[in-house]
């Protein structure tokens, strides 16, 4: 009965604490969302000032420009800015946010300021659109109309800017008031939570301690009886221990068998990927690549291109350039899938070609440091180490925000060492640390394990990242898929 009473009151107290915590969390989330909306409103309201000034600048450039081409460019920019300005002003006036159809109710003060700014905005918008409708260059008969429109825009710009300044200040004031309400509510929820915890300590924990003390005395009396029973159980435990050891040995054997089967499946998957890469590489190079080269030759043998109009000549030049870029891209893709230099010349030349290609495409500084570059390794080792280096370089380019990448390839009598280092940001936040569980690092680990190697990843915030793979070479050849299957069997 006592246990049920303690359980009831304890569950009630925990429920109250959970409800208060949940209410506080929901309220804070709601206020944070409101603050995010307020930040967008303040930012967009301030941007309205900038866009109105940009409109005035473009109006002055449009009306004073003597170059018709420049005037057309200015008019296009002016029309674009004017459209964005009018759309943003309408959205702000009705409290419409960019996320879907979400709306924020404007206070009476905000609505009054929008009403005050509306006449000035209407004049600026109307006069700007009248200028956009004027022909270029402006005829002498229309210069007076243009001058009047410019004067109207300049006259209304200053009061509009002052009103928007007041509008931004009002937005900021209302946001600060909401923050004050949030702080007060948080203190209230904290006080209620502490009160519930204090009542829980007074009404639950103290009686529970007294009951526990009584139970301890009873347990001490029962302890003597238990010791006698323990002596009888020791013999039984000895038998159970022997049985457990036997089960553990059998479990370890089954676990090792599962690991071996997993390695075989992974090796088959890797081999299938490499075969598919090789097939796709050959198809791209010998199929699509040859067809694109034929198209290039056909285009280059077109005659009388100089007799075509200028527009068609430009189209011909663009077509020719597009074909050349497509051929190069197909070659790059084919080379990334299965670089011929890897099978022809070995690992070190293939890495240098990869670094040269990536450096040319990304503009990053990349270097390869290698010794005994002329030594050839087992085909499986060369392919596996190349894929690991390729993935590590791609990760550094995509995620590290580095400007230097170094690749070290060291070969000795007993092992091969590959290290890919960058000077990027390292693993600095939760989003970046999620990369540790990605497919790229998983594939690198598995490739290293299939080669009986060791994979290491070292990274410090703002200190860069270093990927190291060590492959033992004290074997006749790298394990093949058939060898692994025999070992599993």
CATH number of the domain that residue 454 is part of: 3.30.565.10
Q: What is the C-alpha to C-alpha distance for residues 395 and 10, in angstroms, rounded to an integer?
A: 51
Per the CB < 8 A criterion, the answer to whether 332 and 367 are in contact is: no
- Write out pLDDT tens, residues 103-140: 677 788 888 887 888 888 888 888 888 878 877 666 66
* pLDDT for the residue 299: 63
Write down which residue in 142, 174, 206 finishes a domain: 206
Report yes or no on 321 lying in a domain. Answer: no
* Regions in the chain scoring below 70 on pLDDT: 1-3, 5-6, 9-10, 24, 26-40, 97-103, 136-142, 204, 256, 258-308, 313, 316, 320, 327-338, 372-374, 428-438, 474-489
DSSP 8-state assignment for residue 479: P
Report yes or no on 60 lying in a domain. Answer: yes
Report yes or no on 151 lying in a domain. Answer: yes
* pLDDT for the residue 484: 44
Q: Same structural domain for residues 200 and 349?
A: no
Write down which residue in 206, 237, 265 finishes a domain: 206
* pLDDT for the residue 265: 59
* pLDDT for the residue 447: 84
Report yes or no on 266 lying in a domain. Answer: no
CATH number of the domain to which 133 belongs: 1.20.120
* pLDDT for the residue 129: 83
Report yes or no on 475 lying in a domain. Answer: yes
β-bridge partners, 459: 465
State phi, psi for 411 to the nearest 5 degrees: -125, 125
Report yes or no on 276 lying in a domain. Answer: no
Mean residue pLDDT across the chain: 76
SS3 category, 460 = strand
Q: In the sheet where 365-370 sits, what is the strand order?
A: 365-370, 404-411, 415-422, 464-472, 454-460
In the chain, the N- to C-terminal Cα span, in Å, equals 62
User: Residue 299: is it exposed, middle or buried by C-beta count within 10 angstroms (0-12/13-18/19+)?
Assistant: middle
Report yes or no on 81 lying in a domain. Answer: yes
* pLDDT for the residue 35: 59
Range of the domain at 422: 341-488
Tokens representing residue 295 in the block: 């198209």
| 254: Cβ contacts below 8 Å, ≥ 6 apart | none
β-pairing, 464-472 with 365-370? unpaired
* pLDDT for the residue 430: 53
Question: Cα dihedral angle (21, 23, 24, 28), rounded to 10 degrees?
Answer: 140
Q: Same structural domain for residues 30 and 175?
A: yes
Write down which residue in 166, 190, 206 finishes a domain: 206
Number of domains in the chain: 2
* pLDDT for the residue 367: 92
Tokens representing residue 296 in the block: 């290039």
Q: Which residue has the tokens 């600095």?
A: 428
Among 391, 396, 370, smallest CA distance to 445 is for: 391
Q: What is the C-alpha to C-alpha distance for residues 247 and 242, in angstroms, rounded to an integer?
A: 9
* pLDDT for the residue 487: 45
How many other β-carbons are positioned within 10 Å of the β-carbon of residue 194?
Answer: 12
Report yes or no on 247 lying in a domain. Answer: no
């Amino acid at each position: 009965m006592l246990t049920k009473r303690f359980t009831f009151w304890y569950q009630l107290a925990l429920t109250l604490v959970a409800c208060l915590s949940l209410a506080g969390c929901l309220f804070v989330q709601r206020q944070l969302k409101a603050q995010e909306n307020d930040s967008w409103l303040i930012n967009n309201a301030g941007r309205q000032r900038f866009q109105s000034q940009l409109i005035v600048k473009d109006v002055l450039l449009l009306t004073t420009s003597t170059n018709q081409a420049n005037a057309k460019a200015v008019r296009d920019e002016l029309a674009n800015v004017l459209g964005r300005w009018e759309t943003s002003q309408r959205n702000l006036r009705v409290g419409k946010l960019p996320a879907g159809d979400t709306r924020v109710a404007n206070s009476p003060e905000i609505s009054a300021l929008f009403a005050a700014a509306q006449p000035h905005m209407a004049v600026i918008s109307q006069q700007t659109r009248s200028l956009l409708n004027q022909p270029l260059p402006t005829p002498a008969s229309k210069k007076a109309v243009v001058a009047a429109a410019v004067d109207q825009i300049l006259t209304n710009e200053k009061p509009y800017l002052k009103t928007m300044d007041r509008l931004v200040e009002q937005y900021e004031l209302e946001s600060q008031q909401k923050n004050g309400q949030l702080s007060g509510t948080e203190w209230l929820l904290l006080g209620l939570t502490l009160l519930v915890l204090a009542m829980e300590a007074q009404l639950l924990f103290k009686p529970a301690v007294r009951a526990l003390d009584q139970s301890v005395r009873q347990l001490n009396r029962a302890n003597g009886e238990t010791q006698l029973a323990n002596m009888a159980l020791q013999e039984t435990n000895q038998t159970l221990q022997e049985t457990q050891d036997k089960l553990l040995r059998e479990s370890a054997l089954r676990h090792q068998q599962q690991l071996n089967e997993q390695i075989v499946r992974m090796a088959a998957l890797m081999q299938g990927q490499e075969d598919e890469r090789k097939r796709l590489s050959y198809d791209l190079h010998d199929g699509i690549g040859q067809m694109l080269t034929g198209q290039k030759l056909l285009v280059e043998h077109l005659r009388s291109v100089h007799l075509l109009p200028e527009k068609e000549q430009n189209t011909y030049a663009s077509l020719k350039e597009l074909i050349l870029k497509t051929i190069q891209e197909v070659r790059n893709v084919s080379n990334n899938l299965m670089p011929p230099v890897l099978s022809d010349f070995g690992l070190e030349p293939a890495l240098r070609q990869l670094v040269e290609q990536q450096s040319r495409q990304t503009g990053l500084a990349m270097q390869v440091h290698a010794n005994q570059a002329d030594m050839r390794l087992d085909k499986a080792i060369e392919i596996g180490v190349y894929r690991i280096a390729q993935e590590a370089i791609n990760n550094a380019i995509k995620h590290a925000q580095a400007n230097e990448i170094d690749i070290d390839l060291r070969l000795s009598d007993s092992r091969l060492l590959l290290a890919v280092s960058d000077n990027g940001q390292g693993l600095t936040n939760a989003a970046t640390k999620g990369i540790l569980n990605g497919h790229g690092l998983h594939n690198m680990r598995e490739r290293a394990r299939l080669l009986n190697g060791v994979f290491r990843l070292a990274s410090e915030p703002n200190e860069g990242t270093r990927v190291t793979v060590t492959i033992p070479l004290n074997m006749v050849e790298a394990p093949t898929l058939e060898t692994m299957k025999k070992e599993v069997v």
